[in-house]
């Protein structure tokens, strides 16, 4: 029998502490209604749940966007309805009336006065039908300044390749897939030229090698094969120098311009300290300024880089402002290049003239396009409508028939938009509901089960406290021996 260490009490105290923790955890889950409150509760479940919550909130906002879009369309159709009836119908009625020679000149002049007033009414409705300040029936002019059109299917593509030690396999991937990439573009009728800039540390130090444009894919493959892979690690300043050299290429005036940077190294800007040069930082170019320069010259920069988060974030600072892509250097490179070829070829396709877009989903690119209408009298072809003499009245009837048909077609178009948006709303609502149910199964607590756990842990805590009291009484037995 000893008194220095009451091991029974110490063990019971540990059990009591653990039971209290479990009781507190059960109380937390019951209080919040969530099984996962912290990352420590279940890291994977928390990650999945957060992604689902992002989607759910995005879908809920998309539903509100769709409802706004429906209101927008209903406002537009209401304006069209007012133009059609009574205005256009009354104009046609007056034209038919004026086509009768039983009317005097003064009668026809009175009819013309009413016609002129109705024409002004139509323009007034078209000019003033708005939703949140947006003209619905009077399409505003578009600014076409600094938007040169591509007049031929030509594309100049420059690969900027990092040739440092870790890039050998990646350069081989480009070489192995470049023919399929070029063929995919040529099949779409795109006339391509390929250029090559390679940079990185070699036995001769940091050098940049430049190969001129060529339309011969085999010649370009030979240039890739001849790249000497060095072994000095990443050379971020050379990568920026490589882009600068690519900007000096003699591009065709009527060709799109594409840069494809192949690297596994982050590209730092001149404000980033680098331990390899004593923390002084790099002083070649600022990433943001370089991206702005490329964007201003109509150049899209696609990055073929690693999925490492920090590296990807730095490289995307170059590509995103130019509207370029980001490809996984270790992924299915063939498929990704084919997709890039489709994107480049798609630049030469006729662009759909969309006046307004609605975000109708939780993710980028999930949009719904709406074309607005111009139903002013000039657009309807009735701005100078006359009802006298008889020949003018006949022409007016024909013009009004066409105008009524045009307005009816526009109303039908907006009606189709509204129906489509209602279907999309139902789809977004169902998706949000299903995702909410899935997220609930992952994150919500089972209240009945947790109450059982709370009861169990509470009983264990109370019984442990009782046993701890008994264990503490053992020391009193020593006093009995001393009596």
pLDDT at 5: 64
**Number of residues in the chain:** 483
Q: Would you call 26 exposed, middle or buried from its count of C-beta atoms within 10 A (0-12, 13-18, 19+)?
A: buried
In this prediction, residue 274 carries a pLDDT of 44
Global pTM? Answer: 0.54
Q: What CA–CA distances, in Å, run from 148 to 156, 157, 216, 256?
A: 16, 19, 28, 11
| Cα–Cα distance measured from residue 235 to residue 267, given in angstroms and rounded to the nearest whole number | 8
Distance CA(160)–CA(157), nearest Å, equals 10
Which residues in the chain land under pLDDT 50?
A: 141-151, 233-234, 272-284
Question: Residue 276 has what pLDDT?
Answer: 38
For residue 75, the SS3 value is: helix
Ranges of beta strands (E only) in 355-422 are 356-359, 367-370
pLDDT digits (tens, 9 = 90+) for 456-483: 888 888 888 888 887 777 767 777 777 6
SS3 (DSSP) at 37: coil
């Amino acid at each position: 029998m000893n008194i220095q260490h009451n091991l029974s009490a110490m063990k019971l105290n540990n059990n009591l502490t653990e039971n209290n923790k479990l009781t507190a955890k059960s109380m937390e889950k019951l209080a919040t209604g969530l099984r996962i409150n912290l990352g420590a509760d279940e890291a994977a479940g928390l990650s999945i749940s957060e992604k689902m919550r992002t989607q759910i909130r995005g879908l809920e906002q998309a539903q509100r966007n769709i409802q706004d879009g429906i209101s927008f369309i209903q406002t537009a159709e209401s304006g069209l309805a007012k133009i059609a009836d009574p205005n256009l119908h009354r104009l046609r009625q007056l034209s038919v009336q004026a086509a009768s020679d039983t009317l005097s000149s003064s009668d026809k002049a009175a009819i013309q006065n009413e016609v002129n007033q109705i024409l002004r009414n139509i323009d007034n409705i078209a000019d003033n039908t708005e939703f949140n300040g947006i003209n619905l029936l009077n399409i505003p002019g578009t600014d076409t300044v600094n938007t040169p059109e591509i007049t031929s299917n030509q594309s100049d593509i420059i690969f900027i390749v990092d040739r440092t030690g870790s890039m050998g396999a990646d350069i081989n991937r480009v070489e192995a897939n470049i023919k399929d990439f070029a063929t995919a573009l040529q099949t779409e009728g795109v006339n391509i030229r390929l250029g090559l800039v390679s940079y990185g540390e070699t036995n001769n130090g940091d050098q940049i090698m430049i190969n001129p444009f060529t339309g011969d894919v085999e010649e370009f493959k030979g240039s890739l094969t001849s790249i000497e892979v060095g072994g000095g690690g990443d050379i971020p300043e050379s990568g920026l120098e490589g882009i600068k050299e690519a900007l000096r290429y003699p591009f065709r005036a009527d060709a799109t311009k594409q840069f494809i940077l192949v690297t596994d190294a982050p590209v730092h800007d001149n404000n980033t300290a680098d331990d390899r040069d004593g923390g002084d930082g790099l002083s070649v170019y600022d990433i943001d300024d370089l991206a702005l320069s490329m964007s201003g010259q109509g150049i899209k920069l696609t990055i073929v880089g690693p999925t490492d988060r920090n590296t990807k974030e730095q490289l995307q600072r170059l590509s995103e402002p130019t509207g370029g892509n980001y490809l996984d250097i270790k992924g299915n490179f063939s498929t990704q290049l084919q997709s890039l070829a489709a994107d480049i070829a798609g630049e030469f396709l006729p662009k759909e003239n969309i006046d307004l877009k609605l975000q109708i989903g939780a993710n980028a690119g999930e949009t719904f396009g709406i074309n607005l209408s111009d139903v002013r009298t000039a657009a309807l072809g009735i701005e100078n409508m006359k009802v006298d003499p008889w020949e003018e009245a006949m022409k007016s009837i024909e013009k009004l028939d066409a105008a009524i048909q045009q307005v009816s077609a526009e109303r039908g178009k907006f009606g189709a938009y509204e129906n489509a948006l209602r279907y999309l709303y139902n789809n977004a609502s169902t998706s949000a509901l299903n995702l909410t149910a899935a997220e609930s199964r992952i994150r919500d607590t089972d209240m009945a089960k947790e109450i059982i756990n709370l009861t169990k842990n509470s009983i264990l805590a109370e019984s442990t406290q009782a046993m701890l009291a008994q264990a503490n009484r053992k020391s009193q037995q020593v006093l009995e021996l001393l009596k």
